[in-house]
Structure 1
């Protein structure tokens, strides 16, 4: 497994280096002028196609693992080439947006749904239980399982994209989630899911070292969608294949990006009467950057506040990851942990908002 993780890391790292070089030397991959908005915080033009390197690293590593799986010295039935193929529309949806800035959100959604339908149909990536009796009965109906699975996979892909606002934020959060899933999968002897998660983590690490703290390259929508989609696939497969794993583990381990997304929808649609897809500058991580870090540390330099914001949110993410790891098979405790996290997140959000006296209505 380490051999293939190393492939993912080095391909990602050196391809990202190449993209950075081309951007600086020949102004290639610089599309910042197409993506300016309330969520733009960097000062100099920066390539936003780090997802291309991450996708390439994961693809080469997983296909190599498939071709030379005897080197892993473990027995499992691998569908790695199909996983890469079926995940490609999810990556492409974001990558085209990164290059053009003109791909309509509905078109991107169609690409993501296509990837979800493909893995459901051909790779048996299905949500068959949520550990709530009534809903578990409904999920026995194929079409309901299909709709809920597609909703979950598209949702987590968008959730990772939403939190991708500062250097190292989305990539580190994703690595933490992947490694938590890998830990439980390895503990249960599931080397296929473990391999997916470890390879993805190392490919993200190759990007992270160049993205944090100075933001030499950005993840982009392609990287965020693809990473989130793979997280969703690994989460769903782990729960489906192993009845001893609580479905609430999958929810808890993804809680920070998922709750950020749900809260954002509530804030935009209910409080502000706006489209849920419209960008704004009031995400939790933006308030941390604009208000909390500035007041707590009395730091006004964007170059310092940007990476510091990510550190604070890594800690927030850990408040969900650690309980998920400790109680991965305990439904009741995980539910309590989810409730506590949501209350804490909401309290902090409104507390920070009041510091600036911002009215959402």
Structure 2
């Protein structure tokens, strides 16, 4: 637990420094574009909160031998492997010049480093025919790199609302730490607790009123470390089903897959083209907006935060059962299916303007809203 406390303290203080010195680095750390497709914030704040989380993780890992008897070598290697993915995200945060393709390649580079330095390779998916192929090392490495890079980018996709990606990541890391404790894997548990603490220090500055954003760097860092801890759990412990990893990460993973399907198959557009049709965007526009004055900037900020609460609750459908029944293939598979059904049911209901009344916050039920796409003009 000292990892959690130390990580929290470091993160909180470093991000305090970032917030208090915002005027000095605003030129490169703040994003003044508040009106593009995926922007839902009222004012600009630093987008380099990921630096605080990264510094806290490094500081905690270096200091860990002061209170723990185990080696911190593997954790330091994991953080080293995260550098390409994290650096590409931070570079995008401060320059806005790093293309999605370059960032994806950097995520692949980080995944390859982890395969080679940590032996973090998935060699089973609990399907005998596929497992035979994954035992061929190049195929196993390729599959692992694809899954790791995918989850790294998936966390970035769900980022964009106050506390959304960070709190979901906290729940996932908390689940990983619990399962690692159950299987006596102390290195994985300590890193998971470190990330929970670092995220806790960040969330206090990001929710409900944001003073700092996670940024692409922070999202890529969280996604990569999350993916690698899951890979290591599966690789080291045959009693941890692959469906456990799928279930606790099902929200960012399914959001990404559904977005690709929606853009490429349904609309014939590039898979990486930004739009406002993510589920969290629809919740913000068609549920959280009810009962609020769009001209009131404070209320718009609250709408942003309320959106995250809806998505936290949805993500628990996958994370909760998978954590409680982590060693059951049937239960973890069922949690994934249940989440997919809940997600698609909610998505269809919102698109068809049939949102259940019980989803509305108290006091919102009687507010009449016109056609969902007829929103207040920004001009």
Q: TM-score, normalised by structure 2?
A: 0.89
Distance change (3 Å), C-alpha of 1:183 and 1:263: same
Residues 87 and 115 in structure 1, CA contact (< 8 A), matched pair in contact too: yes
Q: 2:224 is matched with which residue?
A: 229
Q: Say whether residues 1:339 and 2:337 are aligned partners.
A: yes
In 2, Cα distance between equivalents of 1:204 and 1:159:
18
Residues 89 and 115 in structure 1, CA contact (< 8 A), matched pair in contact too: yes
Query: 1:133-212 maps to which residues of 2 (within 5 A)?
Result: 133-212=128-207
In 2, Cα distance between equivalents of 1:314 and 1:35:
24
Query: 1:261-272 maps to which residues of 2 (within 5 A)?
Result: 261-272=256-267
Stretch moving more, 31-40 or 177-186: 31-40
Q: 1:281 is matched with which residue?
A: 276
Residues 245 and 329 in structure 1, CA contact (< 8 A), matched pair in contact too: yes
Q: TM-score, normalised by structure 1?
A: 0.93
Q: Say whether residues 1:255 and 2:250 are aligned partners.
A: yes
Q: 1:87 is matched with which residue?
A: 82
Q: 2:357 is matched with which residue?
A: none
In 1, Cα distance between equivalents of 2:164 and 2:257:
18
Per the TM alignment, residue 96 of structure 1 is displaced from its structure 2 partner at its CA by: 0.1
Residues 23 and 29 in structure 1, CA contact (< 8 A), matched pair in contact too: no
Per the TM alignment, residue 177 of structure 1 is displaced from its structure 2 partner at its CA by: 0.1
Unaligned runs of 5+ in 1: none
Per the TM alignment, residue 137 of structure 1 is displaced from its structure 2 partner at its CA by: 1.3
Distance change (3 Å), C-alpha of 1:26 and 1:275: closer
C-alpha distance after superposition, 1:105-141 (max 9, x if no partner): 1111111111000000110111111111221111111
Q: 2:39 is matched with which residue?
A: 40
Tell me how large the CA RMSD over aligned residues is: 1.7
In 1, Cα distance between equivalents of 2:150 and 2:208:
28
Q: How many residues end up aligned between the 2 structures? A: 352
Stretch moving more, 80-89 or 201-210: 80-89
SS of residue in 2 equivalent to 1:72: coil
Q: 1:20 is matched with which residue?
A: 19
In 1, Cα distance between equivalents of 2:347 and 2:50:
30
Residues 19 and 29 in structure 1, CA contact (< 8 A), matched pair in contact too: no
Per the TM alignment, residue 31 of structure 1 is displaced from its structure 2 partner at its CA by: 3.2
Q: 2:356 is matched with which residue?
A: none
Unaligned runs of 5+ in 2: 354-370, 374-379
Per the TM alignment, residue 55 of structure 1 is displaced from its structure 2 partner at its CA by: 0.6
